[in-house]
Chains A and B, each alone.
Chain A
Amino acid sequence: MSNSKKDLPSQSESRSLNEITYSPLTRRSFLKFGAAAATAYTGVSLALSPLKKFQEHISLDEFLQQHYERLTPEKMQKILARIEKEIARDYGVTPRVSDVKPMPGVEYAYALNIGKCIGCRRCVYACMKENNTSRDPQIQYIRVLQLPKGSQDVDKAENYYQPATVPEKDRYYMPVQCHQCKNAPCTKACPIRATWKEPDGIVVVDYNWCIGCRYCMAACPYWARRFNFSKPMLSKEDINTQMAYLGNRIRPRGVVEKCTFCLRRVRQGIQPACVEVCPTGSRVFGNLRDPNSPINYILNNKRVYIFKEEAGTIPRFYYCFDV
């Protein structure tokens, strides 16, 4: 009984099927379809409307930008011009953003004499100035640890010390910044190769490629990477207008940044900002491949130790002391 009903469609059903198949465009069907289309359009446009806000953070050019290592010089020029425009728009300065390339035959290394460092934090603020790091929320690349003498236990370290004068009695100071490791865990942790080692040994971040997952921050044993939780806040007169693409240009929101040995300066041959400002001369920077460089003199003649050597990172940053 039920079978026969299924096999033989009723007359009304077949007519409605007919109408759907052959219907000419009547006024009614036009209105019906028009109303449905208008609803669909409104719905879709509402669903896409967050894209308009998204545009404040990222433009289409930036969204479609290639990885740094795939860029041709012409494309790079366009990108630099775009970044200059964006910084000029947001901060009211006229910056000069350049893409400085590594020098051939140069590998950088850094030594810090913890016997001489008095923990005055002048390096910290010179670094902020050179690298245009955010003032609010504050981002500092160098963390000066105050440790009790006779201990290397960083759990006992204090980096919020604020006495009237430094050095304090029975304390020594160990500034920690990016060690530019040869076996860098951060570059391995990055899922999209937004951070990598340059031929001169500097570990850099392509701020336009970074997706802000912060895996590298978790991987770094030296706590050297910083995250831009909000758009960097700098006052107009405080901005260093000489900027480098991989180095000290003002970062966008939501990307990771780090010490680059003042890439813009050192690739032009100039000392990093922290070296230039250190009143005690604890900091020495130089070319590892030049046998007569001061850095090689330290490695050959001084007592040198590597922070967290057991992590196997093989840093380019050495701590030394006079004996």
Chain B
Amino acid sequence: MRRRSYYPYIILAMVCGCMLLLYAAAGTADEEVVARPSSPTVIPLPQDWLDTTPIRGTPKLIFYLNQFMYQCKVCHVDLKAPTYECEKNLNVPGTFHMPFGAHKDMAFNHGLNMRCFNCHNCSNLGTYINFDGSEIPGDKPVLLCRKCHGVLYRDWQAGIHGRTNGYWDASRGPQIKLECNQCHNPHQPHFPPLVPRPSPDLPRTVSPEKGSRHE
């Protein structure tokens, strides 16, 4: 007579169940994980590295853009504006007549354009002057620069000279278009050299002394 015992099967089933439980425990239960430290050792990037203020975004310029600019009239109401004789020596330091140290911090390097009144309006010093003698408002330097830099003005209008912040499409949101004097100093318009940000970390396989590379 054959008597079949079920105990081995029960034990086998129990073992399988235990294995399954173990496997499930390995997969789920993410609440039980011990929180890992949130990497406190890494030095954050300095905040001013992400600054989007234009390169000439000095307080002085911001004053100027808000029309709190130096009012030329304040000094020049009685004092005569410099004449052509003064202007001749504009790029020779010390010879240019600067009463009370006015305009002393200026350096002039604008190519052949070395005459104050090519741009400034001598009869109304807060404004600029056009070729035909008409006034250009002091808060619209773009209109002044286009007198000579027509190609760049065209590019600027098309949105490809100078930076555009905000939305990439004007129909989707506000755009901030920088104007000429927010990046260029009109008296020395060449873009100034800048201090570069640090170079990338060397790969760990490269020693800084040897500077070794593949090949």
Contact, CB under 8 Å: B198 / A162 = yes
Q: Pick out which of these stretches binds chain A: B6-14, B58-66, B86-94.
A: B6-14
Contact, CB under 8 Å: A25 / B42 = no
Contact, CB under 8 Å: A118 / B194 = yes
Cβ of A122 within 8 Å of any chain B Cβ, yes or no, is: yes
Q: Please tell me which one of the listed residues A23, A91, A279, A286 contacts residue B54 in the complex, with CB atoms under 8 A apart.
A: A279
Cβ < 8 Å to B, chain A residues 111-134:
111, 113, 116, 118-122, 124-126, 128-129
Q: Pick out which of these stretches binds chain B: A2-10, A48-56, A182-190, A241-249.
A: A48-56
Closest to A44 in B: B19
Contact, CB under 8 Å: A276 / B165 = yes
Inter-chain contacts of B196 with A (CB < 8 A): 119-121, 161-163, 165-166
Give bound CA distance, A33 to B11, whole Å: 9
Cβ < 8 Å to B, chain A residues 21-76:
21-25, 30, 33-34, 37, 40-41, 44-45, 48, 51-52, 54-56, 59-60, 63
Cβ < 8 Å to B, chain A residues 233-282:
233-238, 266, 269-271, 275-281
Q: Pick out which of these stretches binds chain B: A205-213, A214-222, A287-295, A308-316.
A: A287-295
Q: Please tell me which one of the listed residues B11, B26, B172, B194 contacts residue A279 in the complex, with CB atoms under 8 A apart.
A: B194
Contact, CB under 8 Å: A278 / B26 = no
Inter-chain contacts of A286 with B (CB < 8 A): 168-169
Q: Please tell me which one of the listed residues B14, B33, B160, B172 contacts residue A294 in the complex, with CB atoms under 8 A apart.
A: B160
Per-residue interface assignment for chain B, residues 33 to 44, with 1 indicating a CB less than 8 Å from any chain A CB and 0 otherwise = 101101111111
Cβ of A159 within 8 Å of any chain B Cβ, yes or no, is: yes
Main secondary structure of the interface of B (DSSP, over half): loop
Contact, CB under 8 Å: A55 / B158 = no
Give bound CA distance, A41 to B196, whole Å: 62
Inter-chain contacts of A124 with B (CB < 8 A): 197, 200
CB distance from A208 to the nearest CB of B (A): 15
Q: Please tell me which one of the listed residues B3, B23, B167 contacts residue A22 in the complex, with CB atoms under 8 A apart.
A: B3
Give bound CA distance, A162 to B208, whole Å: 13
Contact, CB under 8 Å: B36 / A235 = no
Cβ < 8 Å to B, chain A residues 142-172:
143, 159-167
CB distance from A316 to the nearest CB of B (A): 14
Inter-chain contacts of A56 with B (CB < 8 A): 33
Inter-chain contacts of A199 with B (CB < 8 A): none
CB distance from A215 to the nearest CB of B (A): 19
Contact, CB under 8 Å: A118 / B191 = yes
Cβ < 8 Å to A, chain B residues 169-215:
169, 172-173, 178, 183, 191, 193-202, 204
CB distance from B31 to the nearest CB of A (A): 10
CB distance from A275 to the nearest CB of B (A): 7
Q: Please tell me which one of the listed residues A48, A55, A92, A165 contacts residue B195 in the complex, with CB atoms under 8 A apart.
A: A165
Contact, CB under 8 Å: B43 / A135 = yes
CB distance from A317 to the nearest CB of B (A): 15
Cβ of A319 within 8 Å of any chain B Cβ, yes or no, is: no
Give bound CA distance, A298 to B44, whole Å: 37
CB distance from A228 to the nearest CB of B (A): 14
A-B contact count (CB 8 A): 194
Contact, CB under 8 Å: A34 / B27 = no
Contact, CB under 8 Å: A125 / B42 = no
Give bound CA distance, A187 to B63, whole Å: 51
Closest to A125 in B: B49
- Given A21-B2, A37-B11, A234-B39, also A48-B22 (CB < 8 A): yes
Give bound CA distance, A91 to B7, whole Å: 51
Inter-chain contacts of B178 with A (CB < 8 A): 281
Cβ of A284 within 8 Å of any chain B Cβ, yes or no, is: yes
Cβ of B115 within 8 Å of any chain A Cβ, yes or no, is: no
Contact, CB under 8 Å: B193 / A167 = yes
- Given A37-B11, A126-B50, A159-B199, also A269-B168 (CB < 8 A): yes
Cβ of B98 within 8 Å of any chain A Cβ, yes or no, is: no
Inter-chain contacts of A111 with B (CB < 8 A): 160
Inter-chain contacts of A126 with B (CB < 8 A): 49-50
Taking beta carbons and an 8 Å cutoff, which residues of B are in contact with A?
Answer: 2-3, 5, 7-8, 11-12, 14-15, 18-19, 22-28, 30, 33, 35-36, 38-45, 49-52, 54-55, 155, 158-169, 172-173, 178, 183, 191, 193-202, 204
Given contacts A55-B30, A59-B27, A162-B196, 14 further A-B contacts (CB under 8 A): A44-B19, A59-B30, A90-B38, A91-B38, A119-B196, A165-B196, A266-B168, A275-B168, A277-B51, A287-B168, A287-B169, A290-B169, A297-B159, A297-B160
Q: Which 9 A-B pairs give the minimum distances between C-beta atoms?
A: A60-B27, A51-B26, A294-B159, A238-B44, A121-B197, A165-B193, A281-B163, A269-B172, A92-B38
